[in-house]
A and B are shown apart, each in its own frame.
Chain A
Amino acid sequence: MTVLTVDDVVGELRDGMTVGVGGWGSRRKPMALVRAVCRAGLRDLTVVSYGGPDVGLLIAAGCVRRVVTGFVSLDSIPLEPHFRQARQDGTVELTEYDEGMLYWGLLAAANRLPFLPIRAGLGSDLMRINPTLRTVQSPYPDGSNLVAMPAVTLDAALVHLNRADRRGNARYLGPDPYFDDLFCLAARRRFVSCERLVSTADLIESGPPQGLLLNRMMVDGVVETPHGAHFTSCVPDYDRDEAFQREYATAAASPDTWGRFRAAYLYGDEEHYQKAVAAR
């Protein structure tokens, strides 16, 4: 276990890796880590995500070969603009699953199972657009046919939580853990960024035991990134920055406006980003 910087984390990643990103839509995304991956210019990543602006930024930076997801949304803005454009231009590949199937795939990987049976997907065009997807028959008297959702195994997982200690124990303070524990359990290398790095005693004190989502078996590196989920929500530390998200989504409309957005916020390091956001 090590306390790292965002750039240390990126130094652990390689072109072509399958990288899982925690959070959900535009909620508690490890955006500081994502921005660092974009700056480093990693290539050919397969990004597994309940997609939000993490997927959009990585696509805009040219880091992504394939997206594995059930949706890519900004929540208050239904569709992620970079993802939409990339799909229509044919510049990213997509593996599209039902949201529950993606959960099941991560759960299978976390349990070192090759697949888990699930009903979701039966009868739908998911079976057509995922030609490697197979069904499995129950060996019991019901004999039912179910989708054999393959394990979604990750080379690396990036997640963001509210609090962590230096050992890699971490908790969420908001209403939903999302699937961050499963992303870590499904991955070979696991990196958690947090709003505040605290002592283990303070971590334990800061909420109920049920909020302690990650333990030391699940984490390889911890990074303190205050406001590191910006502009997604990280309640109760902060809500989504809706004004900034609108600015982001509007900027994505053309190469010109996107160039100006990038020049204003994304050409420097994380400290520069946070200063530029605060100064606007």
Chain B
Amino acid sequence: MSRADVCVAACADAWRGDGAVLASTTGLIPRLGARLAQLTFEPSLLLTDGEATLTHADEPEGWLPYRAVFGVVAAGTRHVMMGASQIDRFGNQNISCVGDWHRPTRQLLGVRGAPGNTVNHTTSYWIPRHEPRVFVEHVDLVSGIGHDRGAVEIRVVVTDLAVLDFTTPDRSMRLRSVHPGVSVADVEAATGFPLTVPVSVPVSRSLTGPELALLRERLDPDGLREFR
């Protein structure tokens, strides 16, 4: 069981219990997680091919062009897992630019759909490198809104080190689990703000035997997840 396998399991678990909602992803590991969830414990989940076709068990089952995606966003029947160039302790996220928006030092993706996603439906994040310059005190530009700005639900933040959630009284970030081989101190050192840390922090779950077989044989036979 590799670190990437643990990350796939944690991403898959983000959609556990969601039922018939559209699972949208950015990046390979979240996409593998969503496909795994649909093929195992969350068969009602809706996925797309990344363009306009809805897929079930990797076969086409319907049509969802971009304009219809915005309808799904507004209806709230969606749970997206986005990336984040910066994220703060309430889950405010930035993918637009670094520095002053008027004259950024680094232009990034732009806000894309982050404002609409976070104000309308459940959002999670995947962060492939857990480090202080991502987990910041204040984001440079609020693209995705956090719990202190009216987010519907930021469910989990999955990183290469840990799983974080917001099950605290003020809905600020908490350490839910550390991946095998990672210590609580490692996570705290990689996070640029104080985290709520339970007295006892569990280790992130491993994939079950059938899940691992599915991942290795069907979803990612070339092992691309190891080169994230």
A binding-site residues for B, Cβ under 8 Å: 24, 69-73, 78-79, 83-84, 87-88, 90, 96-101, 103, 118-126, 129, 175-179
Contact = CB atoms under 8 A, between A and B. Distances in A.
Given A98-B112, A98-B115, 19 more contacts: A70-B110, A73-B109, A79-B109, A88-B104, A96-B111, A99-B116, A101-B115, A103-B67, A119-B120, A120-B116, A121-B116, A124-B119, A125-B143, A129-B101, A129-B102, A175-B53, A176-B65, A177-B67, A179-B66
A98 B107 contact: no
B114 A98 contact: yes
Given A79-B108, A124-B115, A179-B67, A90 B120 contact: no
Contact of A175 (B51, B74, B149): B51
A123 B150 contact: yes
Interface string B82-119: 00000000000000110001111111111111111011
Contact of B112 (A88, A90, A99, A119): A99
Given A83-B107, A88-B107, A121 B115 contact: yes
Contact of A24 (B66, B102, B104, B114): B66
A147 to B, nearest CB: 9
Interface in B100-149: 101-116, 118-120, 141-145, 149
A16 B168 CA distance: 52
Contacts of A123: 115, 118-119, 142, 145, 149-151
Contacts of B105: 88
Contact of A129 (B63, B66, B118, B141): B141
B145 A98 contact: no
A240 to B, nearest CB: 12
Most chain A CB neighbours (cut-off 10 Å) among B105, B141, B151: B141
B57 interface: no
14 contacts: A70-B113, A71-B110, A72-B110, A83-B107, A100-B73, A122-B145, A123-B115, A124-B114, A124-B115, A124-B145, A125-B101, A125-B141, A126-B115, A129-B101
Contacts of B53: 175
Contact of B107 (A84, A126, A176): A84
Contacts of B150: 122-123
A248 B101 CA distance: 26
Nearest to A50: B66
B104 A87 contact: yes
A243 B108 CA distance: 23
Mostly helix, strand, loop or mixed at chain A's interface? loop
Q: Which 4 residue pairs are nearest across A and B when measured between Cβ atoms?
A: A120-B116, A123-B149, A175-B52, A87-B107
Interface of B: 51-53, 63, 65-67, 70, 73-74, 96-97, 101-116, 118-120, 141-145, 149-151
Contacts of B113: 70, 98-100, 120
A126 B120 contact: no
A90 B70 CA distance: 31
Nearest to B49: A175
A100 B73 CA distance: 9
A173 to B, nearest CB: 13
A120 B108 CA distance: 20
Nearest to A121: B115
Contact of A99 (B52, B65, B70, B141): B70
Contact of A87 (B66, B97, B142): B97
Contacts of A78: 109
Contact of B115 (A88, A90, A120): A120
Nearest to A235: B51
B110 A69 contact: yes
A105 to B, nearest CB: 12
Contacts of A69: 110
Given A103-B67, A175-B63, A179-B67, A125 B142 contact: yes
Contacts of A97: 111
A124 B140 CA distance: 12
A202 B188 CA distance: 65
A124 B110 contact: no
Given A79-B109, A103-B67, A124 B52 contact: no
A100 B52 contact: no
A226 to B, nearest CB: 24
A84 B99 CA distance: 13
B89 to A, nearest CB: 16
Contacts of A178: 65-67
Nearest to A122: B119
A84 B102 CA distance: 13
A83 B109 CA distance: 10
